[in-house]
């Protein structure tokens, strides 16, 4: 009796398996989400497929991680395709995709400047603070030495030095 109920209520039909397989293949990265969320959705689809008895190989799972990435991740995908068989594991691919995603986010954050509606606290901490210069006259650069004000000051010092020399030479002539 229990076996007949389990068979009737358990969703392990071929249609269900085909639907879950198609769902696994259709999982795509959607740009507002993070890479970790995308990989989590892919893992859930894989787990649902395995729950109905369809085994997913590690290679197939790793390939699926790389299949539906946006163009900005094409470079890392090509590098991961070149890994040897021992290095091409789902764990390794996942780790490298997340690190590349973080690198691209940090790069885009630096290009865009500060944004105050950012939700990722790690990226907030990674931003560089701009400290105001409290003593602007103390620090000199090569650019400062050629400014008009510096050139005028040098001219005035030169004129004063010439006047002092001429005054000193007139007064102490024997």
pLDDT digit string, tens, across residues 115-133:
555 555 555 555 555 555 5
Domain membership of residue 137 (yes or no) is no
Domain that holds residue 17: 9-112
Q: Which residues contact 69 (CB under 8 A, 6 or more apart)?
A: 29, 77, 97
With respect to residue 84, please indicate whether it lies within any of the assigned structural domains.
yes
Please give the pLDDT value at position 82. 87
In a domain, 128, yes or no: no
Residue 151 lies in a domain: no
Q: What is the mean pLDDT of residues 146-153?
A: 64
And the tokens for 48? 């649902």
Q: Does residue 130 belong to any structural domain of this protein?
A: no
Q: Is residue 141 part of a domain?
A: no
Q: CA–CA distance from 1 to each of 4, 9, 52 (Å)?
A: 5, 12, 21
Asked if residue 70 is part of any domain, the answer here is yes
CATH number at residue 40: 1.10.1200
- Residue 63: inside a domain: yes
Which range is least confidently modeled, 45-54, 112-121, 155-164? 112-121
Q: CA 153 to CA 158: how far, in whole Å? A: 9
More confident residue, 4 or 87: 87
Task: State the alpha helices, DSSP H only, in 52-147.
Answer: 58-67, 74-81, 90-112, 121-126
Of the listed ranges 8-12, 47-51, 131-135, the one predicted with least confidence: 131-135
pLDDT in tens, 61-101: 999 999 888 888 888 888 888 888 888 999 999 999 999 88
* CA atoms within 13 Å, Cβ hemisphere of 101: 21
Q: Give yes or no for a contact between 54 and 21, defined as CB atoms under 8 angstroms apart.
A: yes
On whether the CB atoms of residues 65 and 42 are closer than 8 A, the answer is: yes
Give the model's confidence band at 44: pLDDT under 50 very low, under 70 low, under 90 confident, else very high: very high
The count of structural domains within the chain is 1
- pLDDT for 37 equals 93
């Amino acid at each position: 009796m229990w076996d007949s109920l389990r068979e009737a209520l358990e969703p392990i039909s071929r249609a269900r398996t085909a639907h879950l397989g198609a769902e696994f293949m259709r999982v795509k990265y959607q740009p507002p989400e993070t890479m970790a969320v995308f990989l989590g959705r892919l893992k859930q689809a894989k787990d649902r497929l395995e729950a109905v008895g369809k085994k997913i190989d590690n290679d197939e799972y790793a390939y699926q991680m790389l299949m539906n990435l946006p163009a900005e991740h094409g470079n890392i995908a090509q590098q991961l395709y070149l890994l040897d068989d021992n290095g091409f594991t789902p764990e390794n691919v996942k780790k490298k995709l997340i690190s590349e995603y973080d690198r691209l986010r940090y790069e885009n954050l630096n290009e865009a400047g500060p944004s105050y509606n950012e939700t990722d606290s790690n990226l907030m901490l990674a931003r560089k603070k701009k400290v105001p210069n409290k003593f602007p006259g103390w620090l000199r650069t090569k650019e400062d030495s050629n400014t008009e004000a510096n050139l005028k000051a040098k001219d005035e010092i030169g004129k004063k030095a010439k006047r002092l020399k001429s005054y000193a030479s007139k007064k102490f002539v024997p």
